[in-house]
Amino acid sequence: MGAFRDLMHDFNTLVLSGEYSADAYCPGAGVAEGAAVRRRDPSPAGARRRVKGEDGAPPEAVAAQHVCNRVAQAEDNGALDGLTVVELKEYLRVVKAPGGGAKRKAELLESVRTALKREQKKKCKAE
């Protein structure tokens, strides 16, 4: 770009009048006022930030609790069919129930229902 500097200067002085202001006509590629500025992440490459829950719990525990709450709420509302396959598999993984390798959603739902019944029995025995 440095090679074109003189050429651009000559063009600006010969063709454009002295009252021409590039800033007035072309604001340029500057950052707009109030716009977010992207900054480089100072952490080493590949390092992931871990966001803890409100009570200081590790993110895995927060995610597991979220999935369990979502499945329990769906069961209460009779809407287990509305959950995604990913949510169903994650629930089975969290409660350490078999059936995560099911091929169809219907098989996953059956495994989740079985796991929910088993979890309810555990809660009843614990109380």
Q: Would 81 be classed as within a structural domain? A: yes
How many structural domains compose the chain? 1
Q: Would 91 be classed as within a structural domain? A: yes
pLDDT in the model for residue 15: 79
Q: Would 80 be classed as within a structural domain? A: yes
pLDDT in the model for residue 124: 46
Q: Would 28 be classed as within a structural domain? A: no
pLDDT in the model for residue 119: 81
Domain holding 66, by residue range, is: 59-126
pLDDT in the model for residue 111: 92
Q: Would 97 be classed as within a structural domain? A: yes
Q: Would 3 be classed as within a structural domain? A: no
For the chain, how far is it from start to end, CA to CA, in angstroms?
Answer: 76
Full-model pTM: 0.53
pLDDT in the model for residue 57: 66
Is 8 buried (19+), middle (13-18) or exposed (0-12) by CB count in 10 A? Answer: exposed
Q: Would 101 be classed as within a structural domain? A: yes
Please name the amino acid found at residue 84.
T
**Is residue 103 within 8 Å of 110, Cβ to Cβ?**
no
Q: Give the Cα separation of 67 and 63 in Å (integer).
A: 6
What tens-digit pLDDT sequence spans the chain (127 residues)? Answer: 677 778 877 777 777 767 766 666 666 655 566 666 666 666 665 555 555 555 666 778 888 888 889 998 999 999 999 999 999 999 999 898 888 688 899 999 999 999 998 887 665 444 4
